[in-house]
Amino acid sequence: MNVAVAKESFPGERRVALVPAAVAALVKAGLGVVFEPGAGLEAGYTDEQYVEKGARLAAGRDDVFAADILLQVRTAGANPEAGQADLPRMRSGQIVIGMCDPLGSPQAAARVAERGATLFSLELLPRITRAQSMDVLSSMATVAGYRAVLLAAQALPRMFPMLMTAAGTVSAAKVFVVGAGVAGLQAIATARRLGAVVSAYDVRPAVKEQVQSLGGKFVEMELAASEAEAAGGYARAMDEEFYRKQREMMARVVAESDVVITTAAVPGKKAPILVTGEMLRGMAPGSVVVDLAAERGGNCDRTRPGETIVEHGVTILGPTNLPSEIPYHASQMYAKNITTFLLHLVKDGQVRINEEDEIIRETLVTRDGKVVNPRVTELLSSQPSPSPQENV
């Protein structure tokens, strides 16, 4: 069987699904590896490096999509406009693996099903011990959390660490991280390494020890949040009354902070508003907000996805694809995740779709011309049918 790596077509996407070092493991498993010319260049990997590891250079994009298994960073719904051109290239019996935002764009999954392709969504991996080495969301969140702090440090008109100099003492910057998931924890660790005083809040009280272990102070808020964690470790969407009370309690901490980094996102849903314009008024001029939920609408009600704006003297950054800004290591981590998943799927050189396996069952979105994932089919049943012109 042939495994192909396509050059990413999403605007600004610099990652690649497979790095040269990962090719050898697939070849050893009896798979041929084909890659599109230039697929890894923006991530720092040359065509020659892939060939040296045993991959074959494809004649073009059609040659890539002729493979039995296609590996992508963004496929279907995660590449809504440029990905439309690739839809006719998909075919019955082909397997496509990547991030496809099935909960946010279920209609895109339906269109892949119409082509007969079998689609696996890596965002749907269950958070169980066996799947940890396949968890692309955690890997990419690690990169995003790190990068968010660097962006904040660059935008803030002061230094992060406390310094005692002949010219006087420089006080440390105060960083407040909202959400102590993977991205938040990495942001805490990075901000601490830069010398900031870090505090953090999460609706899940259980993460308090993790925050403290990284040198951060956990902000206690008397809010009933026993149902804040869904199965699999993901955050659960709360009602608006909960978020209203949360915003009231957070206002004081936000006002005292030089940097606020928000990371609260619920898969497939609009991000909750946690930082309001009124809170921004309470922050000192020059303060910075980095909204890691910008792609889902943002945790700050002033956030503009993909833009940097200034409101009430506060700089608000709304990055939508931070892992792509560090493509070398982001690709390295993603390649490890997707390779481990693929080798879990392939036995004796052939794909074995065992739906008794929780990892396979939860990530399988389309098969035999149908959308088979219950979460996606439920979303489709509640939405109107797409028009023929609707994007993938």
Q: Which residues are part of the catalytic machinery? A: 127, 132, 135, 138, 234
Q: Please answer whether residues 128 and 363 qualify as being in contact, where contact means their C-beta atoms are separated by less than 8 angstroms.
A: no
Q: Which amino acid is at 369?
A: G
Interatomic CA distance for residues 339 and 71, integer angstroms: 9
Please choose, from the candidates 70, 12, 15, 5, the residue with its C-alpha nearest in 3D space to the C-alpha of residue 37. 5
- The residue whose two tokens read 């440029």 is 82
The CA-based angle 296-289-332, given to 5 degrees, is 60
Between the alpha carbon of residue 339 and those of residues 45, 196, 221, 239, the distances in Å are: 17, 37, 41, 38
| Nearest partner of 357 among 188, 192, 143, 126, judged by Cα | 126
User: Is there a contact between 179 and 202 (Cβ–Cβ < 8 Å)?
Assistant: yes
Q: Measure the CA angle with vertex 361, ends 235 and 272; round to 5°.
A: 20
At position 336, the amino acid (one-letter code) is: K
Other beta carbons less than 10 A from residue 295's beta carbon = 18
Report CA dihedral (206, 207, 211, 212) to the nearest 10 degrees.
20
> Is residue 32 classed as helix, strand or coil in its secondary structure?
strand
SS3 of 265, please?
coil
Phi, psi of 119 (to 5 degrees): -110, 130
Residue 27: both structure tokens together: 């070849």
